[in-house]
Amino acid sequence: MKLVKPKKFLGQHFLKDLKVAQDIANTVDTFPELPILEVGPGMGVLTQFLVKKERLVKVVEVDYESVAYLREAYPSLEDNIIEDDFLKMNLQRLFGGHPFALTGNYPYNISSQIFFKMLDNKDLIPCCTGMIQKEVAERIAAGPGSKTYGILSVLIQAWYRVEYLFTVSEHVFNPPPKVKSAVIRMTRNEVQDLGCDPKLFKQVVKTTFNQRRKTLRNSIKPILGKDCPLTEDALFNKRPEQLSVQEFIDLTNRVEQALKSPIEATSQKEIPNGEAGLSD
C-alpha cells in the first residue's frame, strides 16, 4: 500500500502518535448516540479508532491520494469515504439531516473556516472536537480581558461551551509543524436565540475586533458613522476584548436601535459592566 506524501498546499501534517490519536477519538464519547464525521483523515490514523466505535462514521477528504489510500485501508467504510471539500459541502445531506459529531486533525490553514462552517450549521453539530494549532485553540477558549480573546472566542462561545483539553507536541507529526497543537472540544450550549440580530452581532464583533487596539467609539464607526450620539456613552471608552459575550449581545441591540432611531438610542442605559452572560 503506497503511503501518501503530505501536501503543503493542503496544510497536511499527518499525525503518527497512536496514543494521541486514541485520545482524540475518545473526545467524541460525550455524545455516544451521534454519528461521526471526520474531516481530513489523511491516512486514517484517527479513523482507525473512530471506526471501532459502535456508530456510523463518515470521513471527508479533499486529497484524492488520501482517498485512494483510505479506500484500500478501510474497506469497511465503503461509501462513507467522501471525496469532497468540507467547506463546500451541504451538511444537511450527510446523515439525512440528523445531528452528528464533528472531529478531525484539522488542516491548520482552514481550521478557522471549518469553525465558521460549524457555526453556520450549529443545529446539526452539537459537538465538535479535534486538533488545531495551539494558538487558535487558546484564542477560541479565551475569556474577556485576555490578549488572545477575539472574534472566534466571542462567536463560538455565544453558541458553544469550549474546553481546551490538552497540548500536543510538534514532534508527533509528519512533517513536524513549526508550532504546537492542541485538542479542544466545543459542546453546544442551551442558547437557541441570542436575543439580537445574529448577522448584526457577527458584524459588530468582527468590525470592533478588526481594530482591537481602538476603543469602541472609534472601531464601531464603520457601522454607526463618526457622529452617532450613542458613542458618547462611557461604554464606548472600552476596547472589544473587555466585553463579555452578553455585553456584545447588548451592544448589538443598541447598535441596531441606533441605526433605526439615533435619537431614541441615546436615552438607553449604559450596558452593565458585569460578566454575566452566556456560558463559555
- Nine-digit cell string for 166: 490538552
Measured in degrees and rounded to the nearest 5, phi and psi for residue 116 equal -65, -35
64 with 83: CB under 8 angstroms? Answer: yes
Cβ–Cβ < 8 Å for 167, 218: no
- For residue 187, which amino acid is it? T
Query: 152: which 3 cell numbers?
Result: 472566534
- 40 assigned binding-site residue: yes
User: Per the annotation, does 273 bind a ligand?
Assistant: no
The closest alpha carbon to 77, from 55, 110, 104, belongs to: 55
Q: What is the CA radius of gyration of the chain?
A: 21
Beta 101-103 vs 160-168: how paired, if at all?
A: unpaired
Q: Is 251 annotated as a binding residue?
A: no
Residue 250 annotated as part of some ligand binding site = no
Q: Is 46 a known ligand-binding residue? A: no
Per the annotation, does 171 bind a ligand?
no
User: What burial letters (b/e) apply to 10-44, b meaning 16+ CB within 10 Å?
Assistant: bbbbbbeeeebbebbbebbeebeebbbbbbbbbbb
| Burial status of residue 61 (CB atoms within 10 A of its CB: 0-12, 13-18, 19 or more) | buried
Grid cell at residue 198: 445574529
Amino acid at 67: V
CA distance 100 to 63: 23
HEC sequence for 45-60: CCHHHHCCCCCCEEEE
Q: Which residue is it, cell 468590525? A: 207
Annotated binding site: 13, 15, 40, 61, 85, 105
Please state the residue numbers annotated as binding site for S-adenosyl-L-methionine. Answer: 13, 15, 40, 61, 85, 105
